[in-house]
Amino acid sequence: MKQGQLFQKLRKERNISQETLVQGISSRSTLSSFENRNTLLSSELLFHYLNRLNITPNEFQLLINDGAPTKKQIFSKEPHTRHYERTLTPDFLQSLFLEYEQTNDVFYLLLLM
């Protein structure tokens, strides 16, 4: 399901009209375009909309992924779990470093540290 479709579904489940949701945030046409044509929103607008629907960005992301954790969520739990299970191996640490090299995402480097 696309973001706009999911968002519309969540809004309707809560019986909130587009007019009510966008009040003081944006125009109704901005929300309508997002829901129906999947146009992109700024993160600021999306966060304001989600907040008004009482949904956290993490909850929305989980729903978008059908409840499956993201790659970062998986990686972030792994070092902690492996540490306490005493299975934190050099191979796993190397996989973190490789992920950092491939993505240039400092998140993986911080996990490594």
Mean pLDDT, each 10-residue run in order, the chain (113 residues): 92 96 96 95 96 94 86 86 89 91 93 85
Q: What is the pTM of this model?
A: 0.67
Whole-number Å distance between alpha carbons of 68 and 85: 23
Q: Which helix (H) or strand (E) holds 12?
A: helix 3-13
Instruction: Give the pLDDT confidence score for residue 34 in this predicted structure.
Output: 96
Assigned token pair, 113 = 């540290």
The answer to whether 111 and 79 are in contact (CB under 8 A) is: yes
The answer to whether 71 and 107 are in contact (CB under 8 A) is: no
Assigned token pair, 57 = 């960005």
Instruction: Give the pLDDT confidence score for residue 51 in this predicted structure.
Output: 96
Assigned token pair, 78 = 């792994």
Instruction: Give the pLDDT confidence score for residue 23 in this predicted structure.
Output: 97
